[in-house]
Structure 1
């Protein structure tokens, strides 16, 4: 009997592999499996590789993206959207554009702390290196400040003007020395890694689909068997494994979204309190309230996790039959703030006494001079007592305005620091609670898988007996 040649599939694209798997699922009478593979196929074709470009002025960011596109970096999709707090939408990479004219300041570091939650890949693009010869020292200082802030960034020194001149003159060596091609290649590598990750997911989906089709043949189909066939494996095992895997994936997504949403709401409420009060006076109360609020939100997320685990357990019970499965209770979240560094109250910086006194004296002196000089310039003759009273009143008013402005500046500084402390507290809680939830889901999944395997060993499926044929040739069953 001749064997039909099989098409070589080693060089097939992930899209072609998924198309073949979808066709096999339809042929095997599994429209649900075909729909799932089709969704993965659409994801493979439409999932963008997004790069967040932040820092600097809008004009500088636009010029940097234009240079990267001209350098051939067309695979990623660039966005300029400002980060919506520490819990913004995830991206594949972040490019922080900073100028070589100065070292990173507190505002830049706050921006980086917010952006690092969007992507673990942060690229530091130091621009205008052709204008500032001391840029190596600035770059080293920037990296040191980022390391002190707990952020790891890949440095790239670039010159937009030099790259534009190189393109205009057709000078490849000048373009390479501008640093833009190196940054573009790095972004393309990140895009390639993201595409490979998506392709790996598609391959896993295809392999799981093949395993399901092999374990559960099409109902009502004709089976060709030989006389040497033995007992078939349990077709429900693959189905239960799929129910467990899909249920845990959905539960993980729901729990993660719920936790982030709750933390974001707690941070917003705390910042509203900061805007309406003086955090230097009630910081201890606000910090205690924030701890209690975050702990409560974490407990609510754990309750959601328990409900999702109970639903998965119930689905497996219906499939297995028999005695109920042991209930999987999530472990309690221990103190999520244990180990976090202690932060001082957000006190505003007060100017030295000499500086404050000088400002007060200058304001009062200015008021006196205006009251004494302006009537003479205008040619108005006023009694001496009126001039003195007006001078003293003006001096007092200007001095009071100076003191009020100083208090307002200190209040705004303390509020800015309080908001930073609130975000730091929320970030630490999110890391601890997120890891706790992931570990709990992993433990529950392992326990349920082990319990299902034990049930299968204790109550194996009924074997299907086949009438032996006289020869080893396949016969229709």
Structure 2
């Protein structure tokens, strides 16, 4: 018996779903239901371009870009020992090889560039975040490369990200944000050593954000002991993240492609990675998209069937016509209540958004207060003149991770609210929330700056000398005058006393200036956190308002569909009472034929739903 490859089965499911949507659109047009047709047209556009995002993350210089290049067989991402990726690069399918820069804006602007030129525009000179190779005047949000590759033809999008730089870095927060909306995450580490604690912590958090995660062990051709490292990593992954570990060599993959050597390609480990991407990621995503589309077709068929069944019941037994009309009239009243603001689902939505708004705001304030307290402790133990540069970097990264956690709370609670509203609407549906993203905190905070206003310059040698001399002179004069008043001549002793007083004065002045810098640093942290709270507080409120509108519009539109279906059924049932027996017989035959076609379409759709 021949076995069908999972990726082929996934593509077939999408094709079957697309054919079912086409038939559903024809039925909506034939039965005069443009509202249901609009619903299926939205589904159709989603099937036409099913993007499956796979985010590739890892520490700096672990081989992420080489991995992506080896997968697609092209130099899509820059690879160099002296540079690092500065912005995400999206590699997707295209009929011709092309590249575009994505410039920040609302909406983002795209600039076409040559593929060879792209490399110099999306790099930074060192992992610490030195000047980017991109044009200074362009604030790049990312880059997109299109390539005619079979691996990408099913909608697979590989996202090469900047190095994580540790769990506490801003890049790590951005990577986790991207993972929350991705179909899968590939974490890249090399065979030089076993997974570090920070890598395992990142993987654990990534596993919470994204359901499908794999760990790829690179550079196995460079390290002879890679099998030992693979076994250690596999053990760690079973204990902490429960994800597969796939060893690969990009150099062996490239050599195999040049020589056309299938055995060498197998040794490179890439067939296992390709299998993971196509079977476990692409195929499952395709089946999910196809099932959702088929479910919508089945729901449309159910509504169309309902109006015909009511008419059929009235035609088949004229004595039952009055009862059918009475029942449909009662349904009309229930639907009218469903559309009102007093409906339970509407009240649940309104109350839920209010509660969620309060909880998210409280959570944000609590997190910001924790950051401020930690910053105060660090500042009190150090001199901002020595540590402020590192302090700024830490502050931005720390705030980014707290905002990521805050947005994750918002997303999870909003999803739960959508399910509760769906239950109250008597149709569990939360698909409108699939578009709620966990945004990259760094992009959200692009306008917030840590304006320290701190006197970071310590006293220079000349200034220290002047302070010491001033204190010494004042001390010496004071003791000389005291000796004169008491009739005691101090002589050279006054000079020693002056030196002691000068040293003490210098130490006191240094202490005073350090305390002043610490106070200024703490104020700078508070100003920055206040700005963050102001910006993100408004953004979370805007997000919740958008969620409320989407859910309200989604369920209101569904109520309108039900209302129209019931109105047509009521009209047809009412008209049936005036038909003659011959007219009833002819119309019954027509209805049975229509119901047969609709039931057949619904059953085919349910087969795809599975």
Distance 1:305 1:112, change over 3 A: closer
Tell me how far 1:268 sits from its aligned partner. 4.8
Corresponding position: 1:161 with 2:239: no
223-232 or 51-60, which moves further after superposition? 223-232
Instruction: Report 1:237-316 matches (<5 A).
Output: 265=364, 268-270=367-369, 272-278=371-377, 305=417, 309=421
Corresponding position: 1:185 with 2:275: yes
2:267 and 2:199 map into 1 onto residues whose CA distance is 27
- Give 5+ residue unaligned stretches, structure 2: 1-12, 74-148, 162-170, 340-344, 381-401, 428-495, 508-513, 515-554, 556-570, 591-610
Tell me how far 1:105 sits from its aligned partner. 0.9
Maintained 8 Å contact 1:227/1:468: no
2:214 and 2:581 map into 1 onto residues whose CA distance is 68
Distance 1:50 1:12, change over 3 A: closer
* Residue among 26, 48, 63 paired with 1:23: 26
Tell me how far 1:145 sits from its aligned partner. 2.2
Tell me how far 1:49 sits from its aligned partner. 0.2
Corresponding position: 1:78 with 2:158: yes
Secondary structure of 2:32's counterpart equals: coil
* Residue among 454, 473, 477 paired with 2:585: 473
The equivalent residue for 2:203 is 112
- Residues 85-141 of structure 1: per-residue CA shift (max 9 Å, x gap): 756532111111110110111221232133223312111111111222221221121
Aligned residue pairs, count: 314
Corresponding position: 1:121 with 2:179: no
Corresponding position: 1:55 with 2:135: no
* Residue among 123, 137, 142 paired with 2:233: 142
Distance 1:16 1:85, change over 3 A: closer
Distance 1:120 1:305, change over 3 A: closer
Instruction: Report 1:320-359 matches (<5 A).
Output: none
Secondary structure of 1:22's counterpart equals: helix
Corresponding position: 1:173 with 2:176: no
Maintained 8 Å contact 1:52/1:91: yes
Moved over 4 A (4+): 85-88, 222-241, 254-264, 308-313, 461-465
1:158 and 1:34 map into 2 onto residues whose CA distance is 48
* Residue among 185, 209, 227 paired with 1:94: 185
* Residue among 194, 200, 204 paired with 2:295: 204
The equivalent residue for 1:375 is none
Distance 1:184 1:267, change over 3 A: farther
Distance 1:257 1:63, change over 3 A: farther
- Give 5+ residue unaligned stretches, structure 1: 1-9, 282-289, 317-385, 398-403, 405-444, 446-460
Secondary structure of 1:277's counterpart equals: helix
- Residues 255-289 of structure 1: per-residue CA shift (max 9 Å, x gap): 7996996597357515522542338x9xxxxxxxx
Secondary structure of 1:137's counterpart equals: helix
2:238 and 2:226 map into 1 onto residues whose CA distance is 18
Maintained 8 Å contact 2:55/2:184: yes
Maintained 8 Å contact 1:93/1:121: yes
Maintained 8 Å contact 2:14/2:287: no
1:68 and 1:462 map into 2 onto residues whose CA distance is 59
